Amino acid sequence: MGKHLEVTIDKDSGFCFGVVYAIDMAEEILEDEGYLYCLGDIVHNDEEVARLKAKGLRIINHDVLPTLQNEKVLIRAHGEAPETYRIALENNITLIDASCPVVLKLQNRIKTSFDDQEKILIFGKHGHAEVIGLQGQTNNEALVFQDITELDHVDLPASFTLYSQTTKSVDKFYAIKNELISRGYTVKANDTICRQVSNRYEDLGDFAKQYDKIVFVSGKKSSNGKVLYDVCKAANPNSYFISETQELEGLTFLAGERIGICGATSTPMWLMKEVKAALEQL
């Protein structure tokens, strides 16, 4: 007799539209041409990257770009710095630009601020693909910080414009803005956080509370995954983070338990379905 777990996948989990758009674009070209270069991991999920590599996707890093000539290269949803476009132009590389529109809008705003000679602070993860693209709009002069404590011993200008990586928490962004204002700075804040992502932060807690246990499926590299997992864990202490089906083996499930499955904006639905099938086999 199996344990007959009752397993439900969160209908709002899975790829955000920016990732869907990038992957659709890649698959279309792979079908036609058999291979395609992609600058950086197309999505922060090893299982999905492996699936696309098997179809001919060739992941390259920025060092390789200048060595290519007359090729097609995909820019993923995270976006790129101006330098990438410049190199492509010089090397007759066709860029397949799948930058997310939310990111592009933010890049434009930052560039306008920079051109207007505003001092710019960006709340975001150091070294994150999107953040590198944003900093590139400011000739790398913008100050990036991922925690407000990093600003404690920094000599900041009296007034500046505050931006945020699109996948950060809205609450945290406004808390940082208010804290900086209370420290006496003049802060012009531009909230360009993606609502598809921030709504997920809110809805996920509600989802997590409805089940005995939560299995959160995400790549280890996904910063959005880390944040969303914390939301689950806060709402339901019996939440487990896994990246692949095999990791279920270390977990204990009891007969008749209700299990909720959810994931990051970079978690493919096929992977969550695989996890569901594996749980139903127990």
Residue 201 inside a domain? The answer is: yes
Residue 2: pLDDT band with limits 50, 70, 90? low
Same domain, 114 and 143: yes
Residue 20: pLDDT band with limits 50, 70, 90? very high
Give residue 201's pLDDT: 87
Domain boundary among 78, 99, 120: 99
Give residue 221's pLDDT: 87
Residue 216 inside a domain? The answer is: yes
Same domain, 144 and 211: no
Same domain, 120 and 188: yes
pTM, full prediction: 0.92
Total domains in the chain come to 3
Residue 138 inside a domain? The answer is: yes
Same domain, 206 and 256: yes
Give residue 223's pLDDT: 82
Same domain, 42 and 107: no
Q: Which of 48, 80, 130, 257 is catalytic?
A: 130
Same domain, 46 and 117: no
Q: Report, in angstroms and rounded to the nearest whole number, the Rg of the chain calculated over CA atoms.
A: 21
Residue 56 inside a domain? The answer is: yes
Sign of the torsion formed by the C-alpha atoms of 127, 134, 22 and 274: positive
Residues paired with 74 in a beta bridge: 38, 96
Task: Flag whether pLDDT at 281 surpasses 80.
Answer: yes
Residue 76 inside a domain? The answer is: yes
Domain boundary among 82, 99, 116: 99
Residue 135 inside a domain? The answer is: yes
Residue 60 inside a domain? The answer is: yes
Note if 6 is an active site residue: no
Q: Tell me, what CATH number does 65's domain have?
A: 3.40.50.11270
What does the pLDDT look like over 126-182, one tens digit per residue? 999 999 999 999 999 999 999 999 999 999 999 999 999 999 989 999 999 999 999
Same domain, 176 and 157: yes
Q: Tell me, what CATH number does 257's domain have?
A: 3.40.1010.20
Over residues 203-219, mean pLDDT: 97
Task: Flag whether pLDDT at 3 surpasses 90.
Answer: no
Q: How far apart are CA 68 and CA 65, in angstroms?
A: 6
Give residue 1's pLDDT: 43
Three-state SS sequence of 105-140: HHHHHHHHHHHCCCCEEEECCCCCHHHHHHHHCCCC
What does the pLDDT look like over 55-113, one tens digit per residue? 999 999 999 999 999 999 999 999 999 999 999 999 999 999 999 999 999 999 999 99
| Residue 152 zone, left/alpha/beta (φ > 0; ψ -120 to 50; rest) | alpha
Token digits for 149? Answer: 């404590």
Domain boundary among 99, 123, 140: 99
Same domain, 107 and 181: yes
Same domain, 39 and 87: yes
Over residues 45-63, mean pLDDT: 97
Residue 1 inside a domain? The answer is: no
Residue percentage of the chain with pLDDT more than 70: 99
Which residues make Cβ contacts (< 8 Å) with residue 272, sequence separation at least 6? 9, 13, 14, 217, 261, 262, 263
Same domain, 74 and 150: no
Residue percentage of the chain with pLDDT more than 90: 94
- Domain interval for residue 64: 17-99
Same domain, 77 and 38: yes
DSSP code string of 59-88: EE-TTTGGG--S-EEEE-TT---HHHHHHH
Same domain, 92 and 168: no
Mean pLDDT of all residues in the chain?
A: 96
